[in-house]
Copies of this chain bind each other. A is one copy, B any other.
């Protein structure tokens, strides 16, 4: 499987690239609006993986070219760039591809982080609206702390929830998730359930800030 991480030079993209590179044999492609930054990030991830004893080839391309080569396309961009990112690559998406939306709309005040979904109801729904009709979109990877992903020595032992209306697409995402040691995929239903899943992101930020002894917490359902 070939996994493109659009916005893959950012924190979440880095964390996912390192985990997929470290634990799986899937091809990892870093996408960026700027191909030079994509190349640089890919080289840096290769070097980090080398330092952890994994010799992997990570490639970097401009987002649309990264998408053209991929089976799974992860929108590792801020929520307000999701629609633009999908539209910029939609010419290279086809119905065999799976688009994954990990972003959450949030606002912050002095108390903490708060769910602030877009008018589509969720960022996942926003991505689905922007994608061609025959390309399935799955919400996943919400609330995964980028720092914890990037710390390859840290055990994960956490879950990620999947939402989407296309069962095949959810199976594809579940498969690549379960290939990462310590990460479990759990089905949370259709796209209409995405807002509750995206609310985990501000919740985890609030727990990280206020609860004792939890740095970069994740969540496990049991």
What is the interface of chain A, defined by CB distance below 8 A to chain B? Answer: 109, 111-115, 157-158, 161, 186-193, 195-197, 199-200, 202-204, 206-207, 209-212, 214, 217-222
Contacts and interface: CB of A to CB of B under 8 A. Distances in A.
Contacts of A186: 207, 210-211, 214
Contacts of A204: 221
Contacts of A192: 109, 111-112, 114
A195 to B, nearest CB: 7
A115 B218 CA distance: 21
A221 B219 contact: yes
B211 A218 contact: no
A9 to B, nearest CB: 28
B222 A157 contact: yes
Given A195-B115, A206-B193, A217 B222 contact: yes
